[in-house]
Homo-oligomer: A and B are copies of this chain.
């Protein structure tokens, strides 16, 4: 019975994905940014730039007038183009690194909306216009249905192939979401990482900056050299031991302090 339930769920997801693809391709002749409300559109471009450059912080929801903008940005190609260019930039940086034979060259990736995407979940929350719903998000995360972000999977494979020790560091709660997260990552191709670090009880209630800084400090004390650190939140990339280079992936749907 559980098996049947899963199939229905997955089939429903697949239908939605196909419908979105049809809708997108029917509009492919026009570019993603076309809109009838150009004034709001320009404002939303400014808002999104403010978010990505870390000027606008601690926002709780996407401004309501930017709902259509963020949706178009996320599903009609520009988000993916932005990620592709950043990953291309990261790959050029990786090519410039000479690894040591001591096996201590490390790289850090965040999990949510870095390795795997919550876009499907947020499509049901007006792309971030609705306030964060911890119960709903937990149920979604437990379902282990996040999909790989293709460019980041490409980056992940390159890092492993070159010999980096890849650490996946996430604010997800270890006790309640650990197994589902492992299952989700593995099903999406993230399999040969060195360590997956989830938030254990000791870090409960800490901000992401403090928690992730502590994790990175411990890795540094183990002797690892953090060459790169990739996340969709500035709180992944700030604080201490941030790494030799940090890379901010776009995320206009939610903010984590």
Contacts and interface: CB of A to CB of B under 8 A. Distances in A.
A49 B86 CA distance: 9
A53 interface: yes
B89 A49 contact: no
Q: Dominant SS at the A interface? A: helix
Interface stretch (A76-84, A137-145, A166-174, A198-206): A76-84
A49 B50 contact: no
A14 interface: no
Interface string A43-84: 101110110111110000000000000000000011001101
B81 A50 contact: no
Given A54-B248, A55-B248, A41 B31 contact: yes
Bin the interface of chain A by size. Answer: 20 to 34
A43 B81 contact: yes
Nearest to A31: B38
Copies in the complex: 2
A33 interface: yes
A54 B53 CA distance: 8
A50 B47 CA distance: 16
B248 A56 contact: no
A32 interface: yes
A49 B52 contact: yes
Given A45-B78, A45-B81, A53-B248, 4 more contacts: A49-B82, A49-B250, A50-B86, A52-B52
